[in-house]
Amino acid sequence: MLPTPKKFFLTAGSAEGKNHLNAFDNALLAGKIGNLNLVRVSSILPPGVQYCPNLEIPPGSLVPTAYGYIISDTPGELISAAVGVGFSEDSFGVIMEFSGRCGKEEAEKAIISMLEEAFETRGMKLKGTKIASTEHRVDKIGCALAAVPLWY
């Protein structure tokens, strides 16, 4: 059985690359998670988890992470990615991810709307939120990424 994560942080980064994979890798590096092995997870924040914005995770670690990203090779296009965490009063939280061809303000509005719906659907009260977002104007090949890494 896998242990339940006890810590988390939010991050976002955007970058250019010579190809799609390097644009993605460079966005991970810009978000300070480029030297980790991300294990993509869905969107539940464990109960009692602690927000640690300056958390340092050893390079090469397998890290459960909820993330969204977009890659574009359309010069001049504006792309964005955002993640948001919604907190409940006394239970687990919910993580939402968004990416699209828009600015970060629109991405953040989408995150708030998704968090509100997620809590309403679960019959839970949304106590508070944290959001991280980025936008990027594509030069040649760009990537915008936002993530919530979870740690032990």
Q: Indicate which residues carry an active-site annotation.
A: 37, 42-43, 97
Is 13:31 a contact under the CB 8 Å cutoff? yes
Buried b / exposed e along 112-150 (16+ C-beta atoms within 10 A): bebbeebbeeeebebeebbbbbbbbebeebbbbbbbbbb
70, amino acid identity: I
